[in-house]
Amino acid sequence: MKALTGLLLLVFGHGVSSVLHSKQYFYTGSSGLSTFPEFVAVGMVDGVQFEYYDSNTQREVLKQDWMEQAIREDHDYQARGTGIAQGDQQVFKADIVHLKKIFNQIGGIHIYQWMYGCEWDDEDDSTDGYEQYGYDGEDFISLDLKTLTWVAAVPQAVPITQSWNEDEADLQYLKYYHTKECVGVLKTALFYGKNTLQRTDRPRVSLLQRSPSSPVVCHATGFYPDRVVVFWRRDGQELHEQVDPGEVLPNHDGTFQVSVDLNLTAVPQEDWGRYECVVQLRGIEDISTPLDPALIRTNWEVQSGLTIPIIIGLLVLLLAAAAAVGVFVYQKRNGSDTSSENTEEQNPAPEAQPLTTVCS
């Protein structure tokens, strides 16, 4: 299944000059899972969870201290967000019934997912938006913002996309929302949480090796934000072969980590001095670590009487909702007032639109 992997992208190359900020909402509806909430809604800014709702608690919870400023300026913020989420919960429950109908399904476990959001580059002021949703771990419908059309990923979604593409007014609203309204709210959130979201945490860099024949791993951890550049160099030239880049993963404390492997199978140890790992993060000087055997931490040799284990990346799931996600998805919402950016600020999640009219 195709996922929006570009949202957390590790870029290999030189120069970290701008930060791509993002605001996202993730919704997951389920049926047939007794140990999983039938509906979960999560809001995130720059990969940091700031709002959460599920059908078990039936209330919106603010996850960041900096959101207290929003409550002070709008006392009904949480109550309004709770009401919207409760309405979306009922829509999702009905939608799953109709999706099971058009897929000719009876009983079983089913997952319906929705994602929408926007991105803003703080250097060139460019913006982008995305909407995607899916069913049972497969793409279902997505919005092509460039052509302003809904695209069906499976035959069962064609009648829905045809109906939605006929609604010109709503398509124009979606264009406005993703390029203007959502970006405005994102900038407001960045202002509220500037001490957290716009900070720079210097990475700690280690060289790791499981065994004498294993690749040497350049492991950077504890950095923020997550847009980092990590690469290996030989004789001052960036390597594109011999390397295996890893995925940027979150740490439990809100920072990030990433590992990049270097295969030295065909390299004699006397040539190791020609290699170095370079980590680049905006706001700090490049961190260069030479490939020195004395700097490599291993789990196969004892140092100072202690066996030092390899540090491996632990992916900490922010949400139970994302556990079943193969693709994050977005479902079309009812049209709402777009007269000011404060509308989205006061109503953090747009209301979902039922599929009944096109699925029944």
User: What confidence category does residue 62 fall into, taking pLDDT thresholds of 50, 70 and 90?
Assistant: very high
Asked which of 86-90, 205-209, 278-282, 332-336 is least confident by mean pLDDT, the reply is 332-336
- 287 and 205 in contact (C-beta within 8 Å)? yes
**Which residues, other chains included, contact 344 with Cβ-Cβ below 8 Å and sequence gap of 6+?**
177, 181, 182, 184, 185, 350
Q: Tell me, what's the pLDDT at 331?
A: 42
pLDDT for the residue 350: 54
Rounded to the nearest integer, the mean pLDDT of the chain is 82
Instruction: Indicate if the pLDDT at residue 278 is higher than 60.
Output: yes
> What tens digit of pLDDT does each residue of 247-261 get?
999 999 889 999 999
Question: For 1-22, what is each residue's pLDDT tens digit?
Answer: 333 333 333 333 344 456 789 9
- Give CATH for domain 204-307: 2.60.40.10
Q: Give the HSE-up count for residue 165: Cα atoms under 13 Å, Cβ half-sphere.
A: 17
Residue 39: pLDDT above 80? yes
Q: Minimum mean pLDDT among 81-95, 146-160, 283-297, 335-349: which range?
A: 335-349
User: Which residues are CB-contacts of 231 (< 8 A; sequence separation ≥ 6)?
Assistant: 12, 13, 238, 239, 243, 260, 277, 278
Query: What value does the mean pLDDT take over residues 32-45?
Result: 94
What pLDDT is stored for residue 351 in this prediction? Answer: 60
Judge whether residue 93 has pLDDT over 90: yes
* Predicted confidence (pLDDT) at residue 171 exceeds the cutoff of 70: yes
- 61-62/48-54 β-pairing: antiparallel
Q: Which residues have a Cβ under 8 Å from the Cβ of 358 and sit 6 or more positions away?
A: 159, 160, 163
Query: What value does the mean pLDDT take over residues 204-222?
Result: 95
The pLDDT score that the predictor gives to residue 354 is 65
Comparing CA positions, the residue from 302, 212, 307, 228 lying closest to residue 260 is 228
Specify the CATH class of 17-196+320-359 in words. alpha beta
Confidence of residue 73 (pLDDT cuts 50, 70, 90): confident
How many CB atoms are closer than 10 A to CB 97? 15
% pLDDT > 90, the chain: 65
**The pLDDT of residue 86 is above 90:** yes
pLDDT at position 47, please?
Answer: 85
For 140, residues 6+ apart whose C-beta sits below 8 A from its C-beta are: 133, 134, 152, 153, 154, 156, 157, 329
SS3 227: coil
Cβ-count burial of 179 within 10 angstroms (0-12 exposed, 13-18 middle, 19+ buried)? middle
The domains spanning 17-196+320-359 and 204-307 adopt the same CATH topology: no
Residue 109 pLDDT exceeds 80: yes
pLDDT reported for residue 333: 42
What are the residue boundaries of the structural domains of the chain, listed by start?
17-196+320-359, 204-307
Residue 353 confidence (pLDDT): 62
Local structure of residue 246 (DSSP, 8 states): -
